[in-house]
Amino acid sequence: MPGADKEMDLSERIESFLSELKRSGSGTGSLRGSAETARETTALLRKITAQARWGNAGELMEIIRKEGRRMTAAQPSETTVGNMVRRVLKIIREEYARSRGSSEETDQQESLHKLLTSGGSSEDNFRQHFPHLKANVIEAINELLTELEGTTDNISMQALEHIHSNEVIMTIGRSRTVEAFLKDAARKRKFHVIVAECAPFCQGHEMATSLCKEDIETTVIPDAAIFAVMSRVNKVIIGTQTVLANGGLRAVNGTHTLALAAKHHSTPLIVCAPMFKLSPQFPNEEDTFHKFVSPHEVLPFTEGEILSKVNAHCPVFDYVPPELITLFISNIGGNAPSYIYRLMSELYHPEDHEL
């Protein structure tokens, strides 16, 4: 039967997506960029909206929430998955509200006044059925997809506003956003880039070779030399894995040291991050914040005699507090870290912070 086929097809798609997420986190599979993950997640959610069985907005939100929980459980460090789920939930709420005719704004603000005066719960349990809801939601998700396609370009377009000629820019590891940012600026300006290689994965090497192809003067330095060369650096531009709700970062390890060195020399630290990386998490949960990979990257098995007697750690991420960051550049423009919490309220509904 066609319906059952579609359902099986859908669940297959979801399973394969989950297994890919699980594998990509270990660092051995193909490392996918966050943009790709975001796009695939959104495409998958669109498919769920189109093919799953649901009657009203509430049921759809339940389905999406359930799938979203499964996806985030598969790879908790990949926060873009959860972010996209929350975006879609917000889209559904908006479309529902628009179909009902009420304005979207009123539902958002959880002011004390509202709590006291309205008294009851947020009345709509999303139970009403609207025939065009599905089409509207899918259209809105398509818009979201187009937005995702254009994020890197939007960020790169702002490059010339921030890089002047003959600058020395420092970066760490490999970020596709920063790469595009620098390459765009290099078309019109001449500057130098210093890349910290970011052991043990040494992604800085890839970044350097890719920048050199555009004739950008690049220097690769080991992580230990970050503070030593920082005095000659004019700006630090980095990418990040996640932007946290307080304006802090969860970035590749070594970024905190870089940020501290930049602060010491009063060098501005600019973070290029598209909006889909903004996550409503706070850095409170110590045990879930860090992610570790196999310590053989740090101490290989060839050091056999001492391996058994030694603890070796290989954390992947670093927390950078918002005080060390000067500017966020995202596809909607530049923002100070203190403004991030407002941006969050535009992207996600407060009830969706916990999936």
Partner 1 sequence: MADSVGRQVDSINHATEEDEKKQEIIRAKGEGKELTKEEKQRLRKEKKQHKKNKKDDRGPPEKEKEKASVPAPSKPATQSPAHKAAPVPVNASASESPVAAEKPAKSKAELRADRRARQDSERASKPGKKEVGQQSTSSKPKATPSELQPVKRLPEHVQVDDPAALKKLAKKLERQQVPLRSDYGYKVSLFSHLHQYSRKNPPTQQISIPVTAIHPSIVRLGLQYSQGIIAGSNARSVALLHAFKQVIQDYSTPPNEELSRDLVNKLSPYISFLSQCRPLSASMGNAIKYIKKEISNIPNQCKEEEAKRRLQECIDSYINEKIILASQAISKYAIEKISDGDVILVYGCSSLVNHILCEAFEKQRKFRVIVVDSRPRLEGREALRRLVKKGIRCTYVLISALSYILPEVSKVFLGAHALLANGYVMSRVGTSQIALVAKAYNVPVLVCCETYKFCERVQTDSFVSNELDDPDDLIVTRNGKTHLENWQTVKSLGLLNLVYDVTPPDFVDLVITDLGMIPCTSVPVVLRVKNVDQ
C-alpha to C-alpha distance for 230 and 306, rounded to whole angstroms: 35
**Touching partner 1, residues 309-328 (CB under 8 A):** 309-315, 318-319
C-beta closer to partner 1: residue 43 or 225: 225
**C-beta of 54: minimal distance to partner 1 in Å?**
44
Question: Which residue has 């259209």 as its token pair?
Answer: 139
Q: Report if residue 303 touches partner 1, rule: CB under 8 A.
A: yes
The verdict on 199 binding partner 1 (CB under 8 A) reads: yes
Q: Which is nearer to partner 1, 70 or 296 (CB)?
A: 296
The residue among 282 and 292 lying less far from partner 1, judged by its C-beta, is: 292
Single residue of 216, 236, 275, 329 touching partner 1 by CB under 8 A: 216
Q: How far is the CB of 261 from partner 1 (least distance, A)?
A: 6
Per-position DSSP letters for 211-252, written without gaps between them: HHTTT-EEEEE-GGGHHHHHTT-SEEEE--SEE-TTS-EEEE
**Restricting to residues 44-103, which ones interact with partner 1 according to CB under 8 A?**
none
Cβ closer to partner 1: 186 or 270? 186
Distances (CA, A) of 246 to 72, 90, 336: 21, 21, 11
Task: Return the sign of the alpha-carbon dihedral for residues 38, 81, 287, 299.
Answer: negative
- The nearest distance, CB 295 to partner 1, in angstroms, is 8
Q: Residue 52 or 202: which CB sits closer to partner 1?
A: 202
User: Which of 225, 327, 332, 347 touches partner 1 by CB under 8 A?
Assistant: 225
Minimum CB distance to partner 1 smaller for 82 or for 337: 337
Q: How far is the CB of 85 from partner 1 (least distance, A)?
A: 29
Which tokens is 123 given?
């009345």
**Nearer Cβ to partner 1, position 82 or 248?**
248
Q: Are 219 and 253 in contact (CB under 8 A)?
A: no
In angstroms, the Cα distances linking 268 to 192, 317, 326 are: 16, 21, 6
Site for partner 1 in 228-287 (CB under 8 A): 228-229, 231-232, 253-254, 256-257, 260-261, 264
* Structural contact between residues 197 and 252, judged by C-beta atoms closer than 8 angstroms: no
| Torsion sign, CA atoms 315, 38, 181, 344 | negative
What is the per-residue DSSP string for 154-220? HHHHTHHHH--TT-EEEEES--HHHHHHHHHHHTT---EEEEE--TTTTHHHHHHHHHHTTT-EEEE
**Region from 59-67, 149-157, 273-281, 308-316 binding partner 1, contact rule CB under 8 A:** 308-316
- Dig out the tokens for 183 from the structure: 């390459």
Q: How far is the CB of 193 from partner 1 (least distance, A)?
A: 9
Alpha helices in 25-158 (DSSP H): 34-51, 57-74, 79-100, 105-108, 112-118, 133-157
Q: Is the dihedral of CA 323, 284, 251, 231 positive or negative?
A: positive
What is the closest distance, in whole angstroms, from the C-beta atom of residue 165 to partner 1 in the complex?
Answer: 16
- In angstroms, give the least distance from the CB of 285 to partner 1: 15
Closer by beta carbon to partner 1, 162 or else 174 = 174
218 touches partner 1 by CB under 8 A: yes
Alpha-carbon gap, residue 355 to 100, rounded angstroms: 24
Q: Which residues bind partner 1 (CB under 8 A)?
A: 197-202, 205-206, 208-209, 212, 215-229, 231-232, 253-254, 256-257, 260-261, 264, 290, 298-299, 303, 305-306, 309-315, 318-319
